[in-house]
Amino acid sequence: MTLSVGDPAPDFATTDQHGQPLRLADFRGKKVVLYFYPKDDTPGCTAQACSLRDNYTDLKKAGYEVLGVSVDDEKSHQKFIKKYDLPFALAADTDKSVVEAYGVWQEKSMYGRTYMGTVRTTFLIDENGIITDIIEKIDTKNHAQQVLK
């Protein structure tokens, strides 16, 4: 399924880093930066998360809630959040239902090997649950600026 600007953002039900239920519908009435990343505590994913962390005040001033999604489990997310003092929730999409609903679970290749993985993508969602922007070319070190542009 390919999502486009103007489409309703697919709702989902998963858990956060504490194992608590987490649904996109919980954020209705707020703008959301829903960012998908491949793996906790890897160089690119850390740079991206830290860009959002370092500019979190500006993102909040712009009215955004930030929510990260990867297929890592709650324990991995807890370590990642603690290590980098991340002020936002991370969804544990261990069954891959969220990455599949957003079309970011795709075939990738590295060093001649193909495998399935999360394609780094960010969806900006308005207060009514409509996708207002899709950022596919992520500048991990300056990702917050891409969101705030």
Dihedrals φ, ψ of 133, to 5°? -160, 150
Q: How far is CA 148 from CA 78, 108, 122, in A?
A: 27, 28, 12
Is 45 one of the catalytic residues? yes
DSSP strand pairing (64-70 vs 89-92)? parallel
- The one-letter code for the residue type at 132 is T
Buried b (16+ CB within 10 A) or exposed e, 60-71: eeeebbbbbbbb
Identified catalytic residue from 22, 24, 32, 45 = 45
Structure tokens at 10: 């697919």
Which positions are annotated as active-site residues?
45
